[in-house]
Structure 1
């Protein structure tokens, strides 16, 4: 959906369908193996994006719940069988609360997987360092590299240099706590 396009029901449905189709296409590409996925860095990026997607799905569930609550409170919802819609909307609310929790848990699991993968890198066929790493090693091993102890340039300890623990406002959204599920509504 472009920024000029107004958010219609059709546009919302199309985006949800595209999300499903993109997931299918991603799974298809990942299942193929080389020349597809060949770098741990790519796997890390995929995991990081899946982390964000999971948290966004939790937010989507919350927004659908808020919409239904707003419409119910305004008296704009009916039931196909003529029943009071409160019981059905309450059941949807409770299910979406579970979805929110599970999506947040899924996002947190993807985040942990990405964090565990972060130090992993690809090696060339014989267990040698990849070309970028080899360049760094070769520079350090050169006689004229003028490599000396870091303490000469950095006389302070790491704890003196690094700031204290980050405050929640200073953290980017992807590192903050996941959204919390709505509290179940027991009835009206």
Structure 2
């Protein structure tokens, strides 16, 4: 028997694949996805925005599981009480939301630091004075 994947599972499968492609595109030096500092600037901004939405997704996952638990629809394999597991998931998702917020902020700072960085018209190696 095959089970169809939910939209959320399909999207996170796609997200995982896209991260793999992004990693390839950013392989140094310059990666095939970068041609100028503006590419890194835009990529950092997109990553910051993407991670900004994760805490809401985590809350919604938590609310879904909490609702199922409240309705008595969850159990652990073997039939035991799922409440301790859902409480553990809740705690882990709260931590994940905090980390995602911190990640988004750090990516935003990195993007801001690149705001005025551009390529030189001609390459000049920097030598110590």
Give distance in 2, aligned partners of 1:126 and 1:106.
33
Give distance in 2, aligned partners of 1:62 and 1:88.
16
The 3-state SS of whatever aligns with 2:6 is helix
Match of 1:49 in 2: 46
Give distance in 1, aligned partners of 2:81 and 2:31.
56
Unaligned runs of 5+ in 1: 1-7, 128-188
2:65 maps to 1:68:
yes
> When the two structures are superposed, what TM-score results if normalisation uses the length of structure 1?
0.59
2:127 maps to 1:107:
no
Of the two, which has the highest radius of gyration?
Answer: 1
> When the two structures are superposed, what TM-score results if normalisation uses the length of structure 2?
0.84
Higher relative contact order (CA closer than 8 Å, sequence separation 6+):
2
2:12 maps to 1:16:
yes
Q: Deviations over 1:105-162 (max 9, x none)?
A: 00010011111111111222246xxxxxxxxxxxxxxxxxxxxxxxxxxxxxxxxxxx
Cα distance, 1:62 vs. partner?
Answer: 1.3
**Count of aligned positions:** 120
Unaligned runs of 5+ in 2: 125-129
* Structure 1 vs Structure 2 CA RMSD: 1.7
Asked if structure 1 preserves the Cα contact closer than 8 Å seen for 2:51 and 2:101, the reply is: yes
- Structure-to-structure mapping, 1:1-188, within 5 angstroms: 9-31=5-27, 33=30, 36-126=33-123
